[in-house]
Amino acid sequence: MRHNLARARSCAPSAKIWGVVKANAYGHGLERGMRGFADADGLALIETEAALRLRELGWTRPVLLLEGIFDVADIGLLCEYGFNSTVHCLEQIKMLEYTQLQSPIDVHLKMNTGMNRLGFLPAEYAAAHARLRAIPGIRNITLMTHFANADELEHPRLAIREQVRRFQLGAQGLVGERSLSNSGGVLQQAELAAELSNDWVRPGIMLYGGTPGNKSAADYKLRPTMTLASAIIGMQQLVAGDTVGYGSRFEASGPMTVGVVACGYADGYPRHAPHGTPVLVDGVRTSLIGRVSMDMMTVDLTPIANARVGSSVVLWGDGLPIDEVATAAGTIGYELMCALAARVRVFEGPLGQPA
Ligand SMILES: *Cc1c(COP(=O)(O)O)cnc(C)c1O
């Protein structure tokens, strides 16, 4: 985590970094994220409970709520704990107008530059900014937007440059720091240095050794922060015509050895991962066969000469990029990390010290 954060810094050397730790630090555990990103300038997340937890754990630097307040009752938390709140809609502005702020707060005003999820349109933005500035107790207003396709330099529908153009139009003449880039933007910083001169960047996935696009984490010199590992707990010898698992979806075309891995969809491994999804057994690449079940999956042990019960298995992470597994399973590394189940035992460090 420290290494990847340093990579983000070297991509955007003049920007301050919000380390994004939403969704339980992308499945890594909030506290682990907080420790790993101790050098970040602030931590950003969605959940107010987790923001409180950061304060309890001793995080004294800025905390940004990426969706802001959900309810009037959240405003007290902003004041009491000094959370920086995203403001993305009129309803949130009204809540802030009607509530006496007990102490000054900072906010991020979000512009919708084409993502069409949250934020004010460029044409509405200055008016929203003026309304916020008129509220006593609102201190700094950071100008913010979010990219739809930051992983591609030239997206045919909505290029990052076009979103930047709209942002600059809507933010023209407004004072305040700028916050634009997610991981995709941070990783494009070299190509778009002028357009993406941010005061703040908001990397998430790259801090966990994943990438938002098609390039590999290794291309960006990012290191995996999560390895999902297990072991072979059983073996079967098949002959031609034998099938494996629920639905008997896999049929052996000749003699082969099947290994049973103690990991299934109840651990967060995607059930829809198809035959051929890569797996490492004793460090050797092989593939998933048959259907993933709740607590087990089956792999082809033919390429692994000395495979035995107890052989180590890596499902993703060290030696097997999570993005590659995600692509094979028709999803993204983000989803795999976030879906890691609570029952998975967590170890820390390269050789696995119990957490
Ligand atoms: C999740 C999130 C990020 C981080 O995105 P990555 O693609 O993981 O880098 C940045 N900004 C906002 C508003 C987000 O919700």
Q: Comparing 119-123, 211-215, 295-299, which segment has the lowest mean pLDDT? A: 211-215
221 catalytic residue (yes or no): no
Q: Ligand 1: does its nearest atom lie under 6 Å from the Cβ of 86?
A: no
Q: What proportions of the chain, in percent to the nearest 5, are helix, strand and coil?
A: 30, 25, 45
Which CATH superfamily includes the segment(s) 2-211?
Alanine racemase (3.20.20.10)
Confidence (pLDDT) at 91: 98
The token duo for 109 is: 């005003």
Q: Ligand 1: does its nearest atom lie under 6 Å from the Cβ of 20?
A: yes
- Whether residue 215 is predicted with pLDDT greater than 90 in this model: the reply is no
Tens of pLDDT, residues 50-85: 999 999 999 999 999 999 999 999 999 999 999 999
Contact present, 340 and 322 (Cβ < 8 Å): no
**In testing the pocket of ligand 1, which one of 202, 206, 225 has its CB within 8 Å of the most ligand atoms?**
202
Q: What is the CA angle 262-264-267, rounded to 5?
A: 100
Nearest to 234 by CA among 310, 316, 304, 345: 310
* Active-site choice (94, 215, 221, 246): 246
94 catalytic residue (yes or no): no
Cβ neighbours for 234, distance < 8 A, ≥ 6 positions apart? 259, 260, 309
Tens of pLDDT, residues 273-319: 999 999 999 999 999 999 999 999 999 999 998 999 999 999 999 99
* Active-site choice (16, 22, 98, 110): 22
Q: Which pTM value belongs to this model?
A: 0.96
221 three-state secondary structure: coil
pLDDT bucket at 353, cuts 50 / 70 / 90: low
Confidence (pLDDT) at 191: 87
Average pLDDT over residues 261-270: 98
Percent of the chain with pLDDT over 70: 98
Confidence (pLDDT) at 333: 97
Average pLDDT over residues 162-180: 97
Domain boundaries along the sequence of the chain: 2-211, 228-338
- Whether residue 26 is predicted with pLDDT greater than 60 in this model: the reply is yes
Tell me the C-alpha distance between 197 and 317, whole Å: 32
Tens of pLDDT, residues 216-231: 999 999 999 999 999 9
- Whether residue 352 is predicted with pLDDT greater than 70 in this model: the reply is no
pLDDT bucket at 103, cuts 50 / 70 / 90: very high
Q: Ligand 1: does its nearest atom lie under 6 Å from the Cβ of 32?
A: no
Confidence (pLDDT) at 354: 55
- Whether residue 338 is predicted with pLDDT greater than 90 in this model: the reply is yes
- Whether residue 351 is predicted with pLDDT greater than 70 in this model: the reply is no
Contact present, 318 and 280 (Cβ < 8 Å): no
**In testing the pocket of ligand 1, which one of 11, 18, 20, 335 has its CB within 8 Å of the most ligand atoms?**
20
Looking at domain 228-338, its CATH class is mainly beta
Cβ neighbours for 25, distance < 8 A, ≥ 6 positions apart? 32, 33, 34, 36, 208
**Residue with CA closest to ligand 1 atom 4:** 204
- Whether residue 10 is predicted with pLDDT greater than 70 in this model: the reply is yes
Contact present, 337 and 315 (Cβ < 8 Å): no
Amino acid at 161: R
